[in-house]
Amino acid sequence: MNTAIIVALISVISASFAPIIASYLNRKTELELKKLELFENEKRKAYSDFARSFSVLFHSTPIEGDEPIRRILSTIYEAMSYSSKNSRKLLKELSFNVEKGHWDTKEELDLLYQQFFDCLDSLADEKQNNPS
């Protein structure tokens, strides 16, 4: 066969497959971006729920029953599933304190608040360093 014919055949075959390959790569990129967007939205929601769940502790009314504590722990665990290693460590320490369910002294309550705000700062740093 003539070299020109071989080159022409290769060109025709390449031209036929190029749009298919380009379309596949574009679609793959779109799916990865969509997964990242969904992950970031869930992460943002988990962090927001975590912050809101503590509002019950900031009111002067006594906590009634176990449900508020379970809700707080649930939001802590959910935030842990999206957070960095450092934030997970802080959230874990906070969860141990929350599991007690009561804080008899001002110092114990102050420690709880400090742990909560340390967690918020760490999560905010994550969001700032990895904006979606």
* Within-domain flag for 68: yes
**What pLDDT was estimated at residue 38?**
92
What's the CA gap between 74 and 19, in Å, rounded?
48
Q: Give me the amino acid identity at 40.
A: E
Helix, strand, coil abundance in the chain, percent, nearest 5: 85, 0, 15
The number of beta carbons lying within 10 Å of the beta carbon of residue 84 is 14
**What pLDDT was estimated at residue 70?**
85
Q: Write out residues in the chain with pLDDT < 50, as ranges.
A: 132
Average pLDDT, the chain: 85
| pLDDT above 90 coverage of the chain, percent | 31
**What pLDDT was estimated at residue 63?**
64
Domain that holds residue 74: 36-129
* Within-domain flag for 104: yes
* Within-domain flag for 7: no
* Within-domain flag for 26: no
Which residue shows structure tokens 């962090």? 47
